[in-house]
Structure formats: C-alpha cells, structure tokens
Amino acid sequence: MANKPQPIAVETPEQNQTDYEQKNVHEVYEVIATHFSDTRYKPWPVVEDFLNSLKIGSLGADVGCGNGKYIGVNPKLMILGSDRDNSFDFAISIAVIHHFSSPERRLQAIKDIFKIIKPGGRILVFVWALEQTKFSKRNFEPGQQDVFVPWKLTPKKGQKEEEVNDAVYNRYYHLFKQGELDDLFRQIEGVEIETTGYDRDNHYVIASSVEGA
C-alpha cells in the first residue's frame, strides 16, 4: 500500500492572492466535491448548539456552505447560502476562513460576513487550529501555519481501486494559532465577542454585531 500523502509547508504569495486561492482551493474542490461531500454528514456539536440557541424563524446565511449539512439542523430556522447585505439574523462560516491566503483577506472575509447580518445579529466562525491534539488525524509540521493539505480520492462501494483517479489534490490552508482568530474579530468596529473556544482541533469564535455601533 502506498504511503498516505502528508501536508506540505508552503509560502504564500504577496501578490495575485485571488489567483492562488482559485488554483489551490476553488479548482481543487471542484474536482473532489462529490467525494468530499460523502465524508461530511455529521454536524459538529458547537455548531448544532449555536443553531439551536437561535430564535424560531431566524433568517441566516451559511457562508461557504459546502454540502449544506447544517441547513437542516434546526428546521425552525431558515438558512440560505446567500450574501445580501444587512439582511440576516445570524451567519455561520465553518472551515472557510482558513482558505484565505493573507491576514488582510482573512480579516476582510470576516468583515464581509458582518455586513450581511442585521444589528444585533450573531455569527459563528470555525477554522482549523495549528494546535492539534494527539488524537488528531491531521499531521502537520510543528509551527508551520501555511500548508497544502492533500486529498486522495478513494473507491466508492463496488468500485475497484484501479478505477479511481490516483492523483493527489492539494488544498491551501492557513492554520490558526490560539488567539489569532480572536484578534481578527477585535480589529472590527461594532463587534462584541461572546465566546471563543477550541473544539475538535479547531478554533472558533461566536460574536455579535452591536446595535447602534
């Protein structure tokens, strides 16, 4: 059996960052989308608790919603994969912000999420953590925050291994240090951090848009 592909430390470009992300994030997910979706089906507890804490009838956006696995968590909410400004009561962004390749672009992405929620609205953001537990399946070089994470397609039920493309597809990730995501939120005016935490080898922040700010 071939060795499992491992993450690779990389240097991100100072220019043409959107092109870099297009090649190393968007285009990769276009290829692996079906297989990736088959592995994403169980909601994370923190996200589930957040959604279940919201008022009945709240309108929300799942920003970068992937296969949409959170849309049906609480049927008393309406969740859209949309981006209208100042229109939503809440927004979630799960495992998305770490795909932006510079601090400025990560900060702007969070600002853009706040633009789409109403004053008093709440958001939850999850990102991959640099700090991994000993039980983690993720295997990173110590201290390396910018990495290519490999994805290899596997046979579906009834499919032979030789029928599967054996190429390895590398996706760009920025691994967040403890407190790094919090610091991005603190740079945004009119935002109040409700709670921060670490869950399943990820950092997360729950914050709200301050009314009248």
pTM: 0.84
**Which residue, 90, 112, 122, is CA-closest to 184?**
112
pLDDT at residue 152 is higher than 70: yes
- Which residues have CB under 8 Å from 142's CB, separation 6+? none
Domain ranges for the chain, please list them.
8-209
- Residue range 168-195, pLDDT digits in tens: 899 999 999 999 999 999 999 999 999 9
- By three-state DSSP, how is residue 140 classified? coil
pLDDT at residue 119 is higher than 50: yes
pLDDT at 1: 44
For residues 194 and 208, the answer to whether their CB atoms sit within 8 Å is yes
Parallel, antiparallel or unpaired: strands 191-199 and 168-174: unpaired
Rounded Cα distance between 74 and 54, Å, is: 9
- Residue range 16-71, pLDDT digits in tens: 999 999 999 999 888 886 655 555 557 889 999 999 999 999 998 888 754 444 44
pLDDT at 69: 47
User: Residue 23 corresponds to which tokens in the numbers above?
Assistant: 């090649």
Fold of 8-209: Rossmann fold (3.40.50)
User: Residue 211 corresponds to which tokens in the numbers above?
Assistant: 């009314």
Confidence band of 78 (pLDDT split at 50, 70, 90): low
